[in-house]
Amino acid sequence: MGEPSVHPTEKPTDLFAIPIRQHTKRSDLCYEPFAGSGTQLVATEMSGRVCYAMELSPPFVAVALERLARLGLEPRLQIESNPV
């Protein structure tokens, strides 16, 4: 991973990037219902795909946003006040 783990179940980026590249085409959409620290978001960006992701835990949202900012990315956020 190259950085200290900030999520209890953080995965290596290639764990997502390899199947994403093998099973989708560039510009395809991916969905991540449990974004955690943003590993799949990073993998889809590195692979030229687009990812729609959700995360309910504000601390992990902050980690994912910081991680994406370090890559020069500015994700679009939609914040729900009453998550289900």
Query: What confidence tens digit (pLDDT) does each residue in 25-78 have?
Result: 999 999 999 999 999 999 999 999 999 999 999 999 999 999 999 999 988 888
The reported pTM is 0.82
C-alpha 80/C-alpha 18 separation (Å) is 31
C-alpha 51/C-alpha 30 separation (Å) is 5
